[in-house]
Structure 1
Amino acid sequence: MCRLLGVVTRKSAPIAELLAEDLDPFLELACEHKDGWGIAFRDELGAVSIVKGTDRADDSDLLRSLLKSCVTDMAVLHIRMASPHLAVSTDNTHPFGDARAAFAHNGEIRPVTSLDALISPSLLATAVGTTDSERYFLAVREQMDQGSPAAPAITRTAQSIRERAEMVVSLNCMMLTPDGLFTYAEHDPHSEVIGRRGPGYFGLSYRQEEHKTVVASQGWPQPRPQWRELPASHTAQFTTTDLQPRIH
């Protein structure tokens, strides 16, 4: 299982500055979520850029450098705790995607092959890793390539996965496009992971300030009412012009 952190702001700044007091508590989770990291951000040309590594996020000089130097108005940061049967490699490290969209997932879907029917053979052939998470993204991309906006593409894909997979621990995800940050929150409340971690482990919450909104999975204190939980089984959309979540 992984951890997710996203930010959208009206005023571009280095990612480390945008995430401010949330960054260090998030990176401290790499003591357990130690199987790599990835960041996605909207660059100065309006495209999505992705950088990732397989070292521990809290020990990565490259990550710290990028967080200080990348100036943006939207970003997603992911730290990975690999499923036991999936290799720690760059190909399996989130976020997945390209200049059009970057996708990070927190959860597990079995079997991985249950997602293949949702993806055209030509798109499936572009998969570089072996994770369920990359296939989740490709299934969303399939919807988008057919003309669907991002939010309904995520929601419909999640529904289709529920109908086909034998086991779904969580479908939590964040997707960054040039148009906004999209999140989806859903998990199986009866999963053994919940039993080990507690009921809030798969919650996604957000905190809105004057010029920015931060969205995050659990792991460090997120006091109410400053932090508000996003509704389950819905896609939330955040943009630089509308920091409040638009719920789909």
Structure 2
Amino acid sequence: MSRMLAVIAATPATLHDAVSGELLDQCAVLARVHSDGWGTAWAGSDGSLSGSRSNNAPASAGEIAAAGAETASARLVYLRFASAESGHHIADVQPFLRGSVAFCHNGALSPREDVLALLSPVERRELTSTTDSEAYFALVKRMLETGAGTPAENVASAVRLLRQSFPEACLNAFVLHAGELFVVQSRGAAPTPIAAFERRGFTLDTLPPGHDGSYNQISFRTAAGKTIVSTTGVDQAGWHPLAEDTVTHFRAGWHTTIRLSGAPSEQ
């Protein structure tokens, strides 16, 4: 139940230069609702990954921009709305970063024990958080390291495996690997968590846009050598929604899509 944003650019840029101050203002508004921490991970010009996380909500667009002051060729930004079963420690905040992979997930996989059952003993010991999302990350990382397909195909294999155990869960996720972006659009039957928002004092009239039936839709836009991908909650007029049950591989100004059903790819 979180919000995610990613940008990938032909020329490395700061977060502010990549997405505009107006969009960062909208992210700051979103953080008032999704207020259980936030983080960012980015790929430098040499492809190495770095990250920053906080278990407090960002106070302003300026604070988000400051965390994104390093120039990057690709970046993830995550605003957390914690699932009821997960903790509120810094280790629970995404993006998760390990080796050459950064990852964030919008959804809840319950019970968590069913995700853990898909992991090896070594993978379970490596987990540092109380979240189901980190277990999802472990599956994706395993497939990227051991799968026989392309990176997009290997991410898709992890999603298909999870879908067998969680037929209704939202599996939407962003994966940053080797300086490239892979986006999972697979919302399942997960409803918009209106009751959870109401428990925090927000109603449909006071929530930011996109907290309705479109809540689990991811969209993107490409302009001036940069591609921005985001969940709802920011102004997406003229953006392109991703097809359901797909993994889309993004490079700057280019993308290709794999259908999770195994149908032919689109480009």
Normalised TM-score (structure 1): 0.90
Shift of 1:213: 0.7
Instruction: Select 1:245's aligned residue among 247, 251, 255.
Output: 255
Shift of 1:245: 2.0
Shift of 1:154: 2.1
Shift of 1:90: 1.0
Instruction: Name the CA distance, whole Å, in 2 between partners of 1:231 and 1:17.
Output: 28
The corresponding residue for 1:185 is 185
SS in structure 2 at match of 1:110: coil
The reply on whether 1:198 has 2:212 as its aligned counterpart is yes
- Judge conservation of contact 2:23–2:235 (CA < 8 Å) in 1: no
Instruction: Name the CA distance, whole Å, in 1 between partners of 2:179 and 2:235.
Output: 30
Instruction: Name the CA distance, whole Å, in 2 between partners of 1:199 and 1:155.
Output: 25
- Judge conservation of contact 1:185–1:204 (CA < 8 Å) in 2: yes
Normalised TM-score (structure 2): 0.84
- Alpha-carbon displacement from aligned partner over 1:104-145 (angstroms, at most 9, x marks no partner): 000111111111232221122100011110000001111122
Higher mean displacement: 100-109 or 42-51: 42-51
SS in structure 1 at match of 2:117: helix
The reply on whether 1:82 has 2:96 as its aligned counterpart is no
Q: CA 1:168–1:57 in 2, change beyond 3 Å: closer, same or farther?
A: farther
Amino acid at match of 2:94: H
Amino acid at match of 2:159: A
Correspondence list, 1:106-125, <5 A? 106-125=106-125
Amino acid at match of 2:156: T
Instruction: Name the CA distance, whole Å, in 2 between partners of 1:62 and 1:192.
Output: 28
Shift of 1:62: 5.8
Count of residues in Structure 1 that have an aligned counterpart in Structure 2? 242
User: Mind listing any 5+ residue stretches in structure 2 that lack a counterpart?
Assistant: 196-203, 205-210, 259-267
Instruction: Name the CA distance, whole Å, in 1 between partners of 2:78 and 2:59.
Output: 12
User: Mind listing any 5+ residue stretches in structure 1 that lack a counterpart?
Assistant: none
Instruction: Select 2:230's aligned residue among 181, 204, 216.
Output: 216
SS in structure 2 at match of 1:104: strand
- Judge conservation of contact 1:202–1:218 (CA < 8 Å) in 2: yes
Higher mean displacement: 53-62 or 202-211: 53-62
CA-atom RMSD in angstroms = 2.1
Amino acid at match of 2:105: H
